[in-house]
Chains A and B, each alone.
Chain A
Amino acid sequence: QKEVEQNSGPLSVPEGAIASLNCTYSDRGSQSFFWYRQYSGKSPELIMFIYSNGDKEDGRFTAQLNKASQYVSLLIRDSQPSDSATYLCAVNGPSNTGKLIFGQGTTLQVKP
């Protein structure tokens, strides 16, 4: 079992729709969860982080965490073509050293 799992996609949604990206992790001791966006040929950039169960909203983005189910998701409202990218889920281990374990990423395509 991979430490952090994501569906590689591609996930295709029409412009203006809600895109839902999902991630599961294996280590119950994980404390911190991150979503990065990576455009093709570019570096990952941090979108959101979440530490507590529940929802965290930032603009069009909402991160959801359920530690009991070991599940974290990212919702993108009013999807735009510029949101088309690979979204990487990352988990920080219990030692909280900043070492992040990444999933393989989900490719999102937003069609105009």
Chain B
Amino acid sequence: SYVLTQPPSVSVAPGKTARITCGGNNIGSKSVHWYQQKPGQAPVLVVYDDSDRPSGIPERFSGSNSGNTATLTISRVEAGDEADYYCQVWDSSSDWVFGGGTKLTVL
């Protein structure tokens, strides 16, 4: 089965840039999606197909994907960005797969 690996936590100061990684075997050949989940709320899609943003998502959220690592980048981090972030891919042997999630803490 296909496995996605995320760091459990990332910390960043307000106004700085946060980078959350998602590792997987040859993940660069797949479309990666990223979700933001705040406590008590449903997940929200923030980046799809590696680097596209749904309408309403700030340009501060961006993504990249190459080789064995995909990255969600949040520029000019705000207190309101504090949340859990999950990566996701579709794999022919595993169907939909989520990473374990990364808790973003804004210092």
Q: Does A pair with B?
A: no
